[in-house]
Structure 1
Amino acid sequence: MAISNLHDFLQSYFAAHHCELLHNENGFLTVQLTEKMDRALMNRPFYWHYIKKMGHPGEPKQLTLITVPEKKDGKHEWIHYGSPRMHQIINHLHEHEKYTKLFEQINTNEKTALYPWLITNIKISYRGKQKKDEMISIGLHLVNGVMKLEMMDELQRKNLQNTIPDYCYTISPMIKLQSGFKRIEKVLESYVQDQDHHWAEASRKKMAEEIDLLRHFYKDESEESDIKKEIDEIKARYSPYITFEVINGGLFYLKN
């Protein structure tokens, strides 16, 4: 159900931002950034300020990312869910493109219906003794209720645009967006419930051990307030919980 690695997600992310994919195989992804994406990701404000002041167009950088740990070579950047680069990309999506509305690009001379899909990328975060993040790409057909996974892969094979193509018309959703999000939420809740939760048990066990050790060292009742404070900190550190976060998504009108 989950994206097993970030490669497809990153490929779709850069393609959607009009970056040319120069190399895309075996855990390596090299992209030619646009000026806009160079400004967003490469932290070169002084370069762009200077080059524009001189009246030059500037040269956006190429970026090579390694998405498979076994391929790390020390020369290129390894990206993973917890890496600074991934946080940067997620923040970029949060700030600029969390929600969108796009239409499938179709060249036709006949009236063609486009159907509404609610498509979203959601991060599931598992927190406790250890931390783990998981990305889910899921789409809901807002007319017939069909739900599909790996929808970023589906979109990757389509050309999308901001305006509805000539001769095309949209089918009105039968399922409202709020109801659609609730359906997706229920599916994700079922998915999480079916997972192995030994990590949560291990977190609770570690929390109990830490609290027992703390009480062993604090024998004096006068130190009870200090004990409570440290116990609260231990609970905050080890109490297991799971959160859902919508990274981005939108309403996509696609040919059936």
Structure 2
Amino acid sequence: MKIENLHQFLYQFFQSTGCQLSEPAENELLIQLTKDLDIALMNRPFYWHYMDKIGQQGNPMSLHLYTGESQNDPGKEWIHYGSPRLHQIFQYIQSHAKVTVLYEKLNSQEKTALYPWLVVNLKVEYIGKQKKEEIHSFGLQLINGTMISNMMTLLQDTDLGEIVSDYTYTITPLISPSSGFQRIFRYLEDGLAKMDQSWVTQAKKALDEELSLLEHFFSDKESDEELYQNEIMRLKERLEPKINMHIINAGLFYLSDQVMNKILH
């Protein structure tokens, strides 16, 4: 399965965790890991234990990832839905997820207002005959309620930090972050409701066919009712169409008018 904006998602993930990275070619990421990411992703506990024991910094490894639809070079690691590496990254994000507060870095001699944006990265799981995952990134302006999709990609070139720059000041949100989360979920749910529902029809058809076969199997012999009901439950868990949404991480980003105008136009 393909995560539609996997490349941008990975770029932002490694950038936000302090890694040095470049894009040597289309659908490729060359990443110099930090020590923390090396420990989390590269499975070298004895190496880092030894480095700590002898008082050395150690050398984190690098990754050369390919994010296209199929593997084109055995010299690069193909990362895709279902790959162990992507699973590792999701586990790392979930274990470190928190709501961060970041400010646009500006070198200005004039007073500049920074406006609050709630930025939320979500994972959407489609459960049915065929399973699929997508990553979505939304930004909600907490003054006027403007909603933006693909927010992290739009902010890719924006310099952000944890300290407010000189001559900048923040505008207090008029919309609470909790209300902002609800708006983002409603927006995503509305979009999902309008999408092609053929996958739902296919999943229901497959479930009905499997239930019919199951019923036929148990009707031909003295059936075990408990086993029969357990098999029905397993089929529904596997094939009944549903959508799950999970927050990966979120942040409150304070951005200037200039960045806002670039995002909106």
TM-score by length of 2: 0.91
Does the residue aligned with 1:70 lie in a helix, a strand or coil? coil
Q: Report the equivalent of 1:145.
A: 145
Q: What is the CA-CA distance between 1:223 and the residue it aligns to? A: 2.8
Superposed CA offset, 1:128-169 (max 9, x none) = 111101111110000011111111122211111111111211
What is the Cα deviation at residue 224 of structure 1?
2.8
Partner of 2:243: 242
When residues 13 and 222 of structure 1 are mapped into structure 2, their CA distance, relative to the original with a 3 A threshold, is: closer
Q: Deviations over 1:177-197 (max 9, x none)?
A: 111111111110111011111
**Separation of aligned partners in 2, 1:213 and 1:201:** 19
Q: Which amino acid in structure 1 is aligned with residue 127 of structure 2?
A: R
- Equivalent position of 1:224 in the other structure: 225
Give, in angstroms, the shift of residue 31 of structure 1.
Answer: 0.8
Alignment of 1:63-212 (within 5 A): 63-212=63-212
**Aligned residues of 1:101 and 1:252 also touching (Cα < 8 A):** yes
Contact persistence 2:116–2:142 (CA under 8 A): yes
CA distance in 2, matches of 1:23, 1:182: 35
Structure 2 unaligned regions, length at least 5 = 258-265
CA distance in 2, matches of 1:18, 1:209: 50
- Of 3-12 and 159-168, the range deviating more from structure 2: 3-12
Is the CA contact 2:67–2:78 (under 8 Å) kept in the aligned structure 1?
Answer: yes
C-alpha distance in structure 1 between counterparts of 2:23 and 2:133, whole Å? 27
**2:260 equivalent in structure 1:** none
Q: Does 1:253 align with 2:254?
A: yes
- Residues 3 and 81 in structure 2, CA contact (< 8 A), matched pair in contact too: no
Q: How does the TM-score come out when normalised to structure 1?
A: 0.94
Is contact 1:3-1:136 (8 Å) kept? no
CA RMSD of aligned residues (A): 1.7
Instruction: Label 1:52 to 1:224 Cα distance change in 2 as closer, same or farther (>3 A).
Output: closer
1:62-88 deviation digits (Å, cap 9, x = unpaired): 101110023432232111133221121
How high is the sequence identity, in percent, across the aligned residues? Answer: 47
Runs of 4+ in 1 over 4 A off after TM superposition: none
Change (3 A) 1:116 1:227: same
Alpha-carbon spacing, 1:187–1:48, altered in 2? closer, same or farther (3 Å):
same
Aligned residues: 255
- Residue 224 of structure 2 aligns to a residue in which SS? helix
- Report deviation, 1:8: 1.1
3-state DSSP of counterpart to 2:185: helix
Distance apart, 1:100 and its partner CA = 0.8
Q: Retained in 2: the 8 A contact 1:122–1:244?
A: yes
Give the deviation of 1:222 after TM superposition.
4.5
Q: Partner of 2:145: helix, strand, or coil?
A: coil
Asked if the contact 1:3–1:150 (Cα under 8 Å) also holds between the matched residues in 2, the reply is: no
